[in-house]
Structure formats: structure tokens, C-alpha cells
Structure 1
Amino acid sequence: MDEQAVIQDVLAGNKQAYTHIIEQYKNPLYATILRMTRQPHLAQDLVQEVFFKVYEQLGKYEATGSFKSWLYRVAINHCLDELRKKQYKIQNEQFTEEQLIEAEHPEIIYLKREKERQLEQLLSTLPEQERMILLLRYSNELSYEEISELLHISLSDVRNKLHRSKKKMRDEVRKGGDYDELSKRG
């Protein structure tokens, strides 16, 4: 079903249609928020709050921009506000791939867990905005334009920060890290 049609159904009073939006975005939002907070239970709570907030504010969405971008803007702003308001300490807690995906074979889970651990270590070396741009681009598959709109920075800043952060991570790998896949990417 077309996303704009679903939004119109929800706005027309069909509350059941909102489950389509939740199903489509709950996992990517959870992954993004989990990476922001590093606290699985907090991330779950914030995802629920975000979907409630999006439902309440759906009438404010203007179809001129991407719904996905608008949704992420609401989510990230809400999370940052909550983190500031409650002054949560972001723990450097490692979380497993099972928290992000359904269970698979033990070998695959182990390899994904190790890959995730290495990537999280590399991401933690980056400034917050560069880390957020990488996550939005590669975890959430937002376009450069959507990221620019979401973070209120210019398109050239998005490109430059993305390039710079990938270079920093490659350099870190070359210094002695063992995350070879990243050093092969452009």
C-alpha cells in the first residue's frame, strides 16, 4: 500500500492503518535509537514514545518532503530531548545482533556479533554528528538530501562529513584494527 495513502487513511480516522507505518519503521528506528542510547530497554521505550508522538503529530506532516525523513527527524529530536532532559548516561554497553534481528544459526550470529562489535568500536571514535550521518546513511538508507534536511546542515556538509568519517574509520582500521571490510569500501 502506498505510504501517502496509509497516512491519509490514518488522518481520516482509520487507526488500524497506523500499524502499517509501525511495522515498516519499528526495526530501523529501534536500531538507530539503540545506537544513540546504547541501552536496549531505554531504546524500546523511546521507540514506543516516538510512534505515539508521530501518531499525534501526523497532521503536521507535509507531503512535500519525504515521510521517512520527517519520521526520523521526529524520532531523533525526541530522543535527544529525552536524553538531555533526563540526563541519561550513555553507557558503552555492547549489544548483540540478536537484539536487532531475529535469531539465526549460531555461527552466523557469532560472526554478525563480532562484526557489530568491531563496527561499534570504530563508530565510537567519531564525533556524534559524523556517527549520526553514517548511521542515517547506511543503517537507515536515507539519501544525502534527507540527512541534510533532518540534521539541518547543508548537502555539502553531509557529503564532507560522510567522506571524512569513512576516511577516519579506514585509517583506524589500517592502524591495526581487524575490520577489513571497511578498508575496502570507497
Structure 2
Amino acid sequence: MEAVRKGERAISDQVLIQKVKSGNNHAFRLLVEKYRNDLFRTIYAVLRNQKETEDATQEVFIKIYTSLSQYENQGFKTWITRIAVNHAIDVKRKQNRSQEDIIDVAENEILRTRWESVEDEIIHKEKVSRVREKLHELPENYRNVIYDFYIADKTYQQMAAEQNVQVKTIETKLYRARNWMKKHWKEDDFS
């Protein structure tokens, strides 16, 4: 009884295929209804994503429809399953390639950012080093305020509290120290 059903199915597939080749779109809808679940399961086994599988299944049926003229009666279910598996593998490859591209872009961005931050850090350290070398040339009353502000990164408030003076006094000392440096040092000394 099972063999008869398979034979009937093959015959009805052949009849439906002939009708589709003759331009009967309803016959193709019957084929889609008949094999939709089988192809969905086959494609899902490769993609493991329902939305992607739904899209791929539709694309496979379009491929089947456009390739039906090349079908040579060699087992319809086997033929459409092969198309489905090949298409699913292609989709999976594209996904992997795009994920690799995204990863490459992210890695390059991270490396570039690290490189820039390392480069900035080195430049900053060199400038601090040059300032430290020149610091001993400053008059002592300016040296401490320049060191605290530029090298120790202290705020005006912190410096005023440590020296037990007003913030305005610190501003004045920094102003005078900067003027002294402008008069006595050239910009080339620091570049």
C-alpha cells in the first residue's frame, strides 16, 4: 500500500510539473503546499533561524519555479531538496562572511583607537618630560605653581588650599609664570 502511495505521489508530481510548465500557476501552488514543510525543515537544519529560514524557503521556491524547465524527471523531491540545501549553504556562507567583515571592521577600529591612544600617551609623556627638564630654569616661586598645575594636574582650589592662599593668588602666580616662560622660552624648546 505504501509503494502505491509513493507511485501515486510521483505521478501526481509529474502531472503537476507538466501543468506548471504549461503555464498553470495553480499547479505550482499545489507543489508549494505539498513540499513547503519538508523544505522548511531542510533549510532550518542548516540556518537554525526561523526568519532566515522563512525567507530562504521562499527564495528556494522561486529558484524551483525558474529552474523547472531544467528538471529531467529524476525524482522531484530529491531535486528540490538539493536546491534547498545548496541555497541554505549559500545563505549561511554569506552570513558568515558578513559577520567576519563586521568583526574585521570592529577589530581594526579597536586597534586604530589603541594605536591613537598609545601615540597620544607617548606624545603627552614626551611633553611632560620636556617641561620637567625646563622646570629647573623657572624662578622658584613660579616652579611650584607650574609643577602643581601642569604636571600634578591639580586644580586652582587644591593648590590654594595646600598653599593656604586665595584662588585669585594662584591665578596670578600662574599668569606671571606663563608670562615668564613666554619671555624666556621658545616654542621650539617643547616640540
TM-score by length of 2: 0.44
Which protein is richer in helix relative to its size?
2
Q: Of the two structures, which has the highest relative contact order with CA contacts closer than 8 Å and spacing of 6 or more?
A: 1
Q: Please tell me whether Structure 1 or Structure 2 has the larger radius of gyration of its CA atoms.
A: 2
User: Normalising by the residue count of structure 1, what TM-score does the alignment of the two structures yield?
Assistant: 0.45
